Structure 1
Amino acid sequence: MADVIGYEEGRPETTQHITSGYPRFVVHSHAKQLCALLGRRAELAGRSLWLVTSAKMAAELATHLNTDTAAQAAPFQVDSLHGVAHTDTPALNSRGKVFLQHLGGFLSSRAAEEELVRLGELPAIAEEKLFAGDATAEIKRVLHEAYSTASAADILLAPSGMNALYASFRAINALQAPRGRTIWLQIGWLYLDSIALLKKFTADPTRDYIRLGDVTDFAAIEKVFAEKGARIAGLIVEAPTNPLIQTPDILTLSALARQHGARLILDPAISSPFNVDLLPHADVVAQSLTKYTAHEGDVIAGAAVVNSAQPDAAELTRLITEHLEPVHDRDLARLAAQIGGAPRIISKINANTLRVAEFLQSHPAIDKVWWALQPATRDNYLKVARTPGSVGAMISFTLKGELAKFYDRVNLPKGPSFGMSTTLISPFIYLAHYDLVTTEAGRAELAAHGLSPDLLRLSVGVESSEDIIRSLSEALT
């Protein structure tokens, strides 16, 4: 836990040991090395540099930074690389990083590696298993198993789940704003960058961003639609939510949105589309392919899947495609090399999660457990689950004892991702919402949404369930 806090507070004794990390939070060492090389050029010297996915993303980032007139941000292109240079200050550096984090705009580490090899800064590209054929076709072929009603043209690939969500959000805004619809609803507590997207990119966040914290309070949702239905552009709903793994009544919510002309984005990341069938109820399913499909934990990617049976489907597909960033070829080839194993991996994860959840729910040292089949939203989950045992990897829980003591002792891999073949555990609220954990007002906001700062998020992998339970049991004694 000392390292978690050291990372969040940027303490050198912690950060000096971090050479890599989750790609939208820790800038890859290859990208840093490239920026250092580019910084030797006279026109870029002394400036902060960001390498991004495309010229379009560079233009968006420069515009965002230049709302601060001191930024003097400008896009640049060197050979095939696109980026932005701006005034070097901590505040602007943070602003640029957070923007790219929210939108999924960072240059692929594989693209950076290839450029470093071309420049002679690295001896060779690291060996890895890549798909030899048409990687895009292979990815869509496997995803079609989860999205059986979607054609290949309905499945749009992105460099991250956040970029898929951002493009879907932008596309729906473009359709709905001319109709006088600018309001967005958040149902339940969402992943931090999804919340940030709504807070920062709605037309007028004080007017157009409405958050409804209780996924089971359908009366409150109906009341908002009754009062503002003609002005609601869309909803973003995780099914289940992250990290409380709560599922709204998706079927009823979808019917309400359609009745009022609102567009519904559903996100199946927590369980995966191989476990929950959401497309029939959505206008767009925006998902991370980093989770479950890239189960070896070495690719970041995403997808937006359009429900072709819904109004505006053709125009949504066109607009989402316009806003999506390109996916690097070798990222596609690496994802395609492992995605075929996803259904088998997910089946094993599901079986393990059922056993681990049973263990945690019955252990006297555990205070509370949240998972797909938690009593409060179990029936809602089963309405969209492919089978009663399709529960996904995620279990969140709190302890009756001290968080740090348990976390330091538990002999499991520790990290912020999920949906990997490897089990991972993290003190999720510390990692995702440290700003809220460390203030009285922030802790009150968390409590109002049923979130404890000491919540642990466990992503169950494919190891022996007995070994996972043994590691948890030893740390709980």
Structure 2
Amino acid sequence: MPSQEIGETIPANTPHAVSVTLPTWEATVGYEEGQDWVVSKMTSGYPRFFIHSVIQQLAKGIEAKYGRDGERCMIFPTYNVAKRCREFIKEKTSLDQVLVRVLQLSTRAPKDENEKSTVIETNIGVVFFPLSEFSLAKNYWQHSGEGISSRMGEYLLKELIEPQAATNPRGNMKAELQAKQIQSKSPSISISSSGTNALESDKESDTFIEQKYGRVLDLKFAPEAKVALRRRISGKADKSHNQEEEMEKARRGKNLSETDVYLYPTGMASIFNAHQALMKIFQPTPKISVMFGFPYVDTLNILKKFGPGVHFLGLGDDESLDELERDLADGKLDIMALFCECPSNPLLKTPDLPRIRKLADKYGFAVVIDETIGNFLNIHVLPYADIVASSLTKVFSGDSNVMGGSIIINPSSPFYPQLQKYFNEEYEDCFWAEDALYLERNSRDFADRSAKINETSLAALELLVNSPLISKVYYPSISESKKHYDAIKTSTGGYGGLMSFLFHDPADAVCFFNAVNIHKGPSLGTNFTLACPYAILAHYEELDEIAKWDIDRNLIRISVGLEDKDELIEVLQRSLDTAAAQHK
């Protein structure tokens, strides 16, 4: 059963969980307001917003060994990333002068072939700054998505701060698993109290251990895992509508290659680095970008806080596109790029991508499409993009235990030669080895999971649309922009697992959310259904501002998972009934 305990990881007992339980509306508000009854219980959180306890411990150890009086530090996977953080702090600080320094640290290389399974040589960048500048460093960590992962922090802690334990934990875990495997091969057969043949049970244990842990523990396979991920992404993303196949071939000229795919530690790091690439390409005078449609919060923050700025068209509808075209034609706007989500989070609007592409070709700007919500099995956005960014943390992984992101550069883009040159020269592989191994394993059944989520979501949609308590449901198949979604929908694709909805009475929203017996916390695309009061969680300090873009403060967002369809519908119906009962 989903936990309703504040601060418990989602999934439960998962040390590197991506989500965390905020089980009630009041708890979500309490978290946003920093109330002690909530914050004191938060042992975990979404990794870009909540610095994992292992990373906090590592930072304290590094501060103790290398810091100066009054300094704090933040840890990044490369020296160059740390330098970007340093420049951000120095640019944004309110102090006349501030000392921000960067230290590079390295872990040891494997001694021999056997150690390559558990030891990996890596370099990191550590930014030291006065305590007064911690919030700025944290802003960079959150917005850029370039901080170290908790698994990397765990490894660095053992190598840099606790060297005596460097080779023991993984070795012990591997030995323990091998011992279980050996023990499970015992020829003795017995019948358990449930009537299960113990030998059959042991065989299942073997399979479980091999599939869940066998490859993940071996660091030397990380390069192969990354190749497999890039091939998986390029192969799926390159599928087009059958009816458009010939047109697609003629337009693109060549097939997408795995070398056009770049992996990042988070989805936000993908968007951040897409923006960085375009600013470099448009030197010496980068132009502003357009954010088309209301996006996830940090996409807009990246465009606002890094570079020359952003022109925000928050409604993201056809009228907004009319406005953009007029401003471009009249010379009121001269832009570097247009960023959009497809569909958008949380209102599930789909932009008119063919029209955007025509404007981009006419006026010479780049198009960056974040297709995380749709996912590249459901929609085919590459023909309309110069760069496709994705959060692999979501449905691509599903297990909610690893972060990841990707960039695809379109071989048919007019900017392709410049983008290819940029990434060949500037790209750094910051994706931690263990995270790549977990993500590769998680994503093997991506297609099957996506199909089931699509199917279950339609049943959930029908329930919500027909509830007399609910005033509006946001979902691509019932949106005013459905025609734009259908224009890019793949032949076997669906409409995804994310939907948002409003109640006629805000009190019903609170009652429903508090009563519903599903996981409740940040993130989406998980293998389990996950809900949150989206506006409260993501925009609590700007609820009046976001109302201008049709984001209601009482909006609930649900990401449908892999549960049995009938059971999920029953759970949702019970909570609707609970909300209805308070009117009697």
Cα deviation for residue 216 of structure 1 reads 2.3
Cα deviation for residue 356 of structure 1 reads 0.7
Deviation >4 Å, runs of 4+: 120-123, 125-128
Cα deviation for residue 145 of structure 1 reads 2.9
Cα deviation for residue 183 of structure 1 reads 2.5
Inter-CA distance 434–165: structure 2 relative to 1 (3 Å threshold) = same
Mapped contact 1:215–1:248 kept (Cα < 8 A): yes
Match in the other structure for 2:103: 76
Mapped contact 1:284–1:304 kept (Cα < 8 A): yes
Secondary structure (helix, strand or coil) at the match of 1:124 reads helix
TM-score normalised by length of structure 2: 0.76
Instruction: Determine whether 1:29 maps to 2:53.
Output: yes
Mapped contact 2:85–2:127 kept (Cα < 8 A): yes
Secondary structure (helix, strand or coil) at the match of 2:525 reads coil
Instruction: Determine whether 1:246 maps to 2:349.
Output: yes
Mapped contact 1:104–1:163 kept (Cα < 8 A): yes
Match in the other structure for 2:145: 104
In the aligned structure 1, how far is the partner of 2:82 from the partner of 2:495? 39
Write out aligned runs for 1:117-156 (5 A): 117-118=158-159, 119=162, 120=164, 124-125=169-170, 129=213, 130=215, 133=221, 134-148=224-238, 149-156=255-262
Correspondent of 2:513 among 404, 407, 410: 407
In the aligned structure 2, how far is the partner of 1:436 from the partner of 1:325? 35
Counterpart code for 2:476: A
Instruction: Determine whether 1:259 maps to 2:392.
Output: no
In the aligned structure 2, how far is the partner of 1:169 from the partner of 1:427? 29
Instruction: Determine whether 1:215 maps to 2:310.
Output: no
Mapped contact 1:167–1:320 kept (Cα < 8 A): no
Cα deviation for residue 10 of structure 1 reads 1.8
Correspondent of 1:395 among 499, 521, 526: 499
TM-score normalised by length of structure 1: 0.93
Match in the other structure for 1:86: 129
In the aligned structure 1, how far is the partner of 2:297 from the partner of 2:261? 25
Moved more, 229-238 or 272-281: 229-238
Instruction: Determine whether 1:421 maps to 2:521.
Output: no
Match in the other structure for 1:447: 547
In the aligned structure 2, how far is the partner of 1:247 from the partner of 1:333? 33
In the aligned structure 1, how far is the partner of 2:35 from the partner of 2:98? 26
In the aligned structure 1, how far is the partner of 2:576 from the partner of 2:312? 40
Match in the other structure for 1:302: 405
Match in the other structure for 1:355: 459
In the aligned structure 1, how far is the partner of 2:560 from the partner of 2:333? 42
Secondary structure (helix, strand or coil) at the match of 2:477 reads coil
Deviation sequence 1:38-65 (CA, Å, 0-9, x none): 2222634532111112101111111221
Instruction: Determine whether 1:465 maps to 2:565.
Output: yes
Match in the other structure for 1:435: 541
In the aligned structure 1, how far is the partner of 2:260 from the partner of 2:558? 33
Secondary structure (helix, strand or coil) at the match of 2:230 reads helix
In the aligned structure 2, how far is the partner of 1:229 from the partner of 1:329? 47
Write out aligned runs for 1:282-297 (5 A): 282-297=385-400
Cα deviation for residue 400 of structure 1 reads 2.0
Match in the other structure for 1:16: 40
Moved more, 390-399 or 465-474: 465-474
Counterpart code for 2:559: S
Structure 2 gap ranges (5+): 1-24, 107-122, 175-211, 239-254, 578-584
Counterpart code for 2:226: T
CA RMSD in angstroms comes to 2.0
Counterpart code for 1:436: E
Secondary structure (helix, strand or coil) at the match of 1:311 reads coil
Inter-CA distance 400–288: structure 2 relative to 1 (3 Å threshold) = same
Match in the other structure for 2:71: 47
In the aligned structure 1, how far is the partner of 2:66 from the partner of 2:262? 39
In the aligned structure 2, how far is the partner of 1:374 from the partner of 1:324? 41
Q: Percent identity?
A: 27
Deviation sequence 1:6-44 (CA, Å, 0-9, x none): 211222221121111111111011101111212222634
Match in the other structure for 2:297: 192
Correspondent of 2:331 among 210, 228, 241: 228
Write out aligned runs for 1:365-376 (5 A): 365-376=469-480
Deviation sequence 1:156-197 (CA, Å, 0-9, x none): 11111111111111111222244x660311111011000101
Mapped contact 1:47–1:87 kept (Cα < 8 A): yes
The size of the alignment, in residue pairs, is 465
Inter-CA distance 346–42: structure 2 relative to 1 (3 Å threshold) = closer
